[in-house]
Amino acid sequence: MKLITVIGARPQFIKSAPFSDVFRKKHKEIVIHTGQHYDKNMSDIFFKELRIPEPDYHLGVGSGNHGFQTGRMLEKIEDIILKEKPDGLLVYGDTNSTLAGALAASKLHIPVFHVEAGLRSYHKRMPEEQNRVLTDHISDLLLCPTKTAVENLKKEGITKGVILTGDIMYDTVNRFIKLSNSRYSKDAWLESLKAENEVIPSDLQEKEYYLATIHRAENTDDLKKLQIIFSAFEKLDKPVLIPLHPRTRKLIDKLNIKFKNVTIINPVGYLLMLYLTANAYMIVTDSGGLQKEAYFLKTPCTTLRDQTEWVETLEYGWNMLSRIEVQTITKTATRKLDCLKHSQAPLFGDGKAAEYICQAILKRA
């Protein structure tokens, strides 16, 4: 079978690693990198660390408004589909790269396979919600990470082609956690942070720091919200380490805050990120993927949003949502961590999502 896979943003590289590995053992996969993310530490580093095959096509689309970015991708992906004549096209998640890939294939009557189908925040203004709803409605296979996702699709009348596979990010974590530990345990994580960044506090200790990430449009488009988030971080009872997304980095300088408790660093590779996540006191984030990784690695999480698509992580308070208010953020992040007394149910599958996705695609082809 000949499959085209479209990826373009950091979490998609991470999700693609286990599937590409399984699928390529017997079948042909052609990878298109849209170029949505292009900085070295937002793209190349993941291909190297996770041994993801080099893309067959690099579209170099780069940043821009939604219409511009999605439109350029659509045009270029269409040309490649016409040339390669694949049996199907695979997309991950809910970025503009996802929608462009799905739309290009659907219009040419090429079956669309959507990994991470069925997620909903029911927040219509969110660009990711628009991308995922549209993608789901033109997909032929809807590969769902959770039972909730299957139910969400049912509510929209989508039952054909829906398959519960478990979460592909769980596969990636399981594959790489040992390597992450062997590379970064003892003081190697600190040495590595110091080598790449100018100001790392010397007293940073495992389980004694918050690890935070912020990049979601709803939190970054409004500078007042960013100001509130960073003011709350300054008030937390432990140092806050933030590998900052370039989108937010560009805005933060405008805030002119003198940080004492917050250390901003460049985005890190996946292996170091896993280590930092597993050894943090708590994750504070608006990322989708990181909420799950926190849960997989049994690190409590505070999510700086009004909704989450990953409702399973809220069980026993492993993850808690916080409105963007200084007091609410600090209160939620310093809550009593009763969740640590509870074991977790296997709500994200058995870590073999890549195999189930592969089987489903081959059966459909």
Task: List residues with catalytic annotation.
Answer: 215
Give the interface with ligand UDP as residue ranges (CB under 6 A). 10-11, 14, 213, 215, 243, 267-268, 270, 273, 287-290, 293
Of 213 and 322, which has the nearer Cβ to ligand UDP?
213
Q: Given the rule CB under 6 A, which of 74-82, 112-120, 240-248, 251-259 is the region that contacts ligand UD1?
A: 240-248
Minimum distance of ligand UDP from residue 291's CB (angstroms): 8
Q: Which one of ligand UD1, ligand UDP, none is in contact with 273 (Cβ closer than 5 to 8 A by kind)?
A: ligand UDP
Q: Does 127 bind ligand UD1 (CB under 6 A)?
A: yes
Q: Which of 63, 159, 182, 307 binds ligand UD1 (CB under 6 A)?
A: 63
Question: Residue 76 binds what, of ligand UD1, ligand UDP, none (CB under 5 to 8 Å, by partner type)?
Answer: none
* Minimal distance, residue 261 CB to ligand UDP, in Å: 19
Judged by CB under 6 A, does residue 246 bind ligand UD1?
Answer: yes
Helix 288-296, helix 270-278: angle, nearest 10: 60
User: Does residue 95 touch ligand UD1 according to CB under 6 A?
Assistant: yes
**Minimum CB separation from ligand UD1 for residue 288, in Å?**
6
Binding site for ligand UD1 (CB under 6 A): 9-11, 36-39, 42, 63, 94-96, 127-128, 215, 245-247, 250
